[in-house]
């Protein structure tokens, strides 16, 4: 293949010339080359195994392209930074790829950060009264020679200050978001800060998310340069890519095409697919609920890892529990058990009626879709609310067969009569959230089609009843 061989020869010559320029003294030509390499690296991040454009590409080619992009990003970062001297370590050397270990402390609150000049943002939500701490200190490597500035540590500290501002402005939605304990900030916390802040944004009203994502993006670009700046991501990427520091998080929200549904189901863990009796996601019926359950169950387990503030109901009639540490394993077990039961009901034969098949599906809806935050529930039009709506929608065909219909978005306009008619065993929410009666849907309420009652009441997080000053 002379054409390919010739191309490889030219590439080797190009790589050699690039290497010689990068070790040369600073110059305008060197900066031009770096700018070109940055643009190339940013373009390579668009190559994704789940992208339709690359669907027919062999896996090994996709892997090599991703590896080439990563190596290019490392080369750019190394070339753009001061050389390390004896006793100093290049900034961010310990960062690695992917998400760093979460830095969130459990039950620890460090107050609010420095004041932001974003006046419009602070007017949109009620303020939380708190004291202003000193900016987060940054530790830098020390040694006998010149000190290499810890750019990643500085960026992590600035992101944490933005997190303090986020908590202050949107406390009604992220009031339980646990940030890191006080102390010096290092570059090792960069990826964890980036991830936890974007996960917190999933609770905000949709109109406010873009503003905060832009703040995080600009901070990363100002601190780390364009080589490490995140690329633009759609809403199906809750955590954007951050150069070589974080590979991002992909969680498709709307699985409206067969291709998207099968791909999302294929991402589910093996125990989830086995519980649903799915041998091959490519041949499973797309019109039944199994692929939808598989896709959302895989996402639910991923979200439980990403968000330490999540709570869930682990058993029918139980109270919500935080999914920290060993409870994440309990949640996984409860989810897999519910998946098995719902799948068995679907294939149970003539002894199963539409109503008896719907019952196990509703129990699964409670475990799978009941993920929520307490006491500060996510906003009614947040990413989390839309994800919850998608999970509820899986019940629609089964409910129709049992002569029922879903009651979901209208729960935000409910008054006490609807609450009593269509729900039971509810959970008390945040007493300060008085704008609506229902804060969150744990188990989707159903009602008879054309009727007023229901055989399948749901469960919600609702506003506590105000105290009765004249009662006993």
Residue 437 near residue 415 (C-beta atoms within 8 A): yes
Are the C-beta atoms of 378 and 401 separated by less than 8 Å? no
Q: Which DSSP symbol is given to 467?
A: P
pLDDT the model gives residue 150: 79
List, in order, residues 6 or more apart from 196 with CB less than 8 Å away: 102, 103, 104, 163, 177, 179
What local confidence, expressed as pLDDT, does residue 312 receive? Answer: 96
pLDDT of residue 241: 92
Q: What is residue 97's predicted lDDT score, i.e. its pLDDT?
A: 37
Measured at the CA of 231, the angle between CA 229 and CA 233, to 5 degrees, comes to: 140
Q: Taking the CA atoms of the chain, what radius of gyration do you get in angstroms?
A: 26
The two structure tokens encoding residue 371:
């993920």
Measure the CA–CA gap between 345 and 63, rounded to whole angstroms. Answer: 41
- Taking CA 408 as the corner, what is the angle to CA 404 and CA 413, rounded to the nearest 5 degrees? 120
pLDDT at res. 226: 66
What percent of the chain clears pLDDT 90, i.e. is strictly above it? 48
In Å, how far are 290, 312, 359 from 443, measured between CA atoms? 19, 11, 12
* Rounded distance between C-alpha atoms, residue 193 and residue 169, angstroms: 18
Tell how many helices (H) and how many strands (E) occur in the chain.
Answer: 16, 7
Beta-carbon-side half-sphere exposure of residue 255 (alpha carbons within 13 Å): 28
Contacts of residue 270, defined as CB under 8 A and 6 or more positions apart, other chains included, come to: none
How confident is the model at residue 146, as a pLDDT?
43
- The number of residues making up the chain comes to 472
In the numeric block, which tokens belong to residue 245?
């520091």
Q: What is the pLDDT of residue 320?
A: 93
Q: Rounded to the nearest 10 degrees, what angle do helices 28-44 and 59-80 cross at?
A: 150
Which of the two residues, 277 and 125, has the higher pLDDT score? 277
pLDDT at 52: 52
Q: Convert the pLDDT of each residue in 143-152 to its tens digit.
A: 444 444 578 8
CB-hemisphere CA count at 13 Å for 426? 25
Strands of 359-406 (E only): list them.
404-406
Q: What is the DSSP letter of 135?
A: P
Minimum mean pLDDT among 36-50, 287-301, 327-341, 437-451: which range?
36-50
Alpha-carbon distance of 273 to 270, in angstroms, equals: 5
pLDDT band of residue 187 (cuts 50, 70, 90) is confident
* Secondary structure of 84-125 in HEC code, one letter for each residue: CCCCCCCCCCCCCCCCCCCCCCCCCCCCCCCCCCCHHHHHHC
- According to DSSP, the residues that pair with 459 across neighbouring strands are 443
Q: Say what the pLDDT of residue 151 is.
A: 85
Question: Could you tell me if residue 49 is left (phi over 0), alpha (psi between -120 and 50 degrees) or otherwise beta?
Answer: alpha
- Per the CB < 8 A criterion, the answer to whether 311 and 371 are in contact is yes
Average pLDDT, the chain: 79
Instruction: Provide the pLDDT for residue 86.
Output: 36
User: How many C-beta atoms lie closer than 10 Å to residue 31's C-beta?
Assistant: 11
Q: Which DSSP symbol is given to 376?
A: S
């Amino acid at each position: 293949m002379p054409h390919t061989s010739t191309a490889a020869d030219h590439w080797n010559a190009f790589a050699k010339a690039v290497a010689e320029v990068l070790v040369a003294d600073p110059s305008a030509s060197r900066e031009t080359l770096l700018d070109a390499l940055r643009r190339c690296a940013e373009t390579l991040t668009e190559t994704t195994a789940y992208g339709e454009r690359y669907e027919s590409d062999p896996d090994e080619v996709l892997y090599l392209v991703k590896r080439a992009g990563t190596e290019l990003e490392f080369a750019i970062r190394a070339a753009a930074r001061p050389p390390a001297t004896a006793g100093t370590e290049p900034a961010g050397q310990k960062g690695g790829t992917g998400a760093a270990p979460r830095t969130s402390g459990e039950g620890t609150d460090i107050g609010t950060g420095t004041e932001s000049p974003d006046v419009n943002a602070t007017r949109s939500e009620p303020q939380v009264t708190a004291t202003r701490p000193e900016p987060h200190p940054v530790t830098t490597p020390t040694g006998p020679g010149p000190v290499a500035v810890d750019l990643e540590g500085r960026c992590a500290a600035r992101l944490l200050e933005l997190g303090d501002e986020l908590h202050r402005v949107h406390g009604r939605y992220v009031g339980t978001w646990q940030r890191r304990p006080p102390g010096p900030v290092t570059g090792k916390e960069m990826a964890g800060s980036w991830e936890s802040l974007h996960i917190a944004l999933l609770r905000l009203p949709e109109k406010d998310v873009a503003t905060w994502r832009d703040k995080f993006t600009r901070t990363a670009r100002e601190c780390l340069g364009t080589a490490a700046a995140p690329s633009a991501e759609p809403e199906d990427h809750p955590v954007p890519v951050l150069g070589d520091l974080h590979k991002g998080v992909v969680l498709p929200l709307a699985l409206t095409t067969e291709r998207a549904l099968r791909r999302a189901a294929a991402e589910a863990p093996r125990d989830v697919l086995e519980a649903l009796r799915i041998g091959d996601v490519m041949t499973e019926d797309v019109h039944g609920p199994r692929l939808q359950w598989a896709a959302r169950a895989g996402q639910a387990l991923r979200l439980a890892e990403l968000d330490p503030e999540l709570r869930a109901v682990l058993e029918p009639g139980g109270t919500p529990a935080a999914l920290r540490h060993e409870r994440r394993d309990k949640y996984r077990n409860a989810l897999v058990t519910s998946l098995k039961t719902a799948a068995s009901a679907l294939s149970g034969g003539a002894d199963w009626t539409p109503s008896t098949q719907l019952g196990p599906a509703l129990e699964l809806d409670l475990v799978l879709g009941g993920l929520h935050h307490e006491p500060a529930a996510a906003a009614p039009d947040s990413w989390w609310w839309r994800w919850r709506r998608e999970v509820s929608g899986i019940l629609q065909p089964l409910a129709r067969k049992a002569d029922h219909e879903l009651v979901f978005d209208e729960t935000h306009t409910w008054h006490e009569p609807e609450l009593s008619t269509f729900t039971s065993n509810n959970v008390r929410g945040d007493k300060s959230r008085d704008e609506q009666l229902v804060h969150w849907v744990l188990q989707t309420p159903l009602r008879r089609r054309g009727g007023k009652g229901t055989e399948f009441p749901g469960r919600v997080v609702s506003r506590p009843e105000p105290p009765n000053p004249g009662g006993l």
